[in-house]
């Protein structure tokens, strides 16, 4: 039985405001262009979008691609359905951390900024493997686990140099995130879960995946003013996102 009172249901309005129909700035300028390049989807191929939210990915792929989005937040699923009239697209209310009853097999599965927001990413990766065709691929996009750990990483400036400082990395972490810290009346708390890169590698390997490619994506923003050179250099050196393409290597 689905639990409707999830943390993402509680922040659905906040999420929709910051993401919008086409995704937030980094969806549009960094994540989606790189994601589509890596997937290189062909007509009639199929995609299972785990933790789809409002179905941002569905708005970028070719109309001929078969797409199914799963999410536990009912309000986000309903918004996705209203915004998408493509008969090849479907949205299902489902807990991606629990066993999924999916009959079809997919060419691709995606976890776009999702693995960091589920308590048990191992179970989600297992579900992805079971839903893929033999030789199918999983694309995982996460906030970079080495440099972007909420409440445990930050910028530091000394003279004309800007550094990234990290106080924890190897330890798995459960980190509360406030949606509106300066608006206590409407503030809600969600959870972010940190694992080191080796943790994701192990979860993929244990579930029958072979990593084919890892990419690190930087911000394309540009600063102006007296610190522009320093800030722009730091953006080039410290990536925002990590992308992993893994191929299913077992038969099920």
pLDDT digits (tens, 9 = 90+) for 99-146: 998 889 999 999 999 999 999 999 999 999 999 999 999 999 999 999
Structure confidence at residue 101 (pLDDT):
86
Q: Residue 5: pLDDT above 80?
A: no
Q: What is the pLDDT of residue 14?
A: 45
Residue 7's pLDDT is what?
47
Report the C-alpha gap between 108 and 31 in whole angstroms: 16
Would you call 50 exposed, middle or buried from its count of C-beta atoms within 10 A (0-12, 13-18, 19+)?
Answer: buried
**215 Ramachandran zone, left/alpha/beta (phi>0; psi -120 to 50):** beta
Which of helix, strand or coil describes residue 201? Answer: helix
Q: What is the token pair recorded at 14? A: 């906040």
Domains by residue range for the chain, with CATH: 7-147+171-226+240-248 (3.40.50.150)
Question: pTM for the full model?
Answer: 0.89
């Amino acid at each position: 039985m689905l639990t409707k009172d999830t943390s993402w249901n509680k922040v659905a309005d906040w999420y929709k405001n910051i993401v919008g129909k086409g995704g937030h700035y980094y969806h549009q300028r960094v994540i989606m262009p790189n994601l589509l390049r890596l997937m290189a989807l062909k007509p009639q191929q199929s995609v299972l979008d785990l933790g789809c939210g409002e179905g941002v990915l569905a708005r970028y792929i070719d109309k001929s691609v078969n797409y199914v989005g799963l999410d536990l937040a009912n309000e986000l699923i309903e918004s996705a359905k209203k915004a998408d009239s493509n008969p090849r697209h479907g949205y299902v209310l489902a807990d991606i951390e629990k066993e999924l009853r999916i009959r079809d097999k997919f060419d691709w599965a995606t976890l776009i900024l999702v693995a960091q927001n589920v308590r048990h990413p191992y179970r989600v990766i297992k579900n992805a493997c079971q839903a893929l065709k033999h030789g199918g691929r999983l694309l995982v996009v996460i906030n970079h686990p080495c440099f972007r750990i909420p409440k445990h990483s930050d910028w530091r400036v000394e003279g004309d140099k800007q550094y990234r400082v990290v106080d924890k990395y190897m330890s798995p972490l459960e980190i509360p995130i406030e949606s509106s810290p300066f608006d206590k009346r409407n503030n809600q708390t969600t959870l972010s879960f940190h694992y080191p890169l080796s943790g994701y590698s192990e979860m993929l390997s244990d579930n029958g995946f072979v990593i084919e490619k890892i990419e690190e994506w930087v911000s394309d923003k540009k600063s102006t003013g007296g610190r522009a050179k320093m800030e722009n250099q730091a953006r080039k050196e410290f990536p925002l996102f990590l992308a992993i393409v893994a191929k299913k290597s077992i038969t099920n």
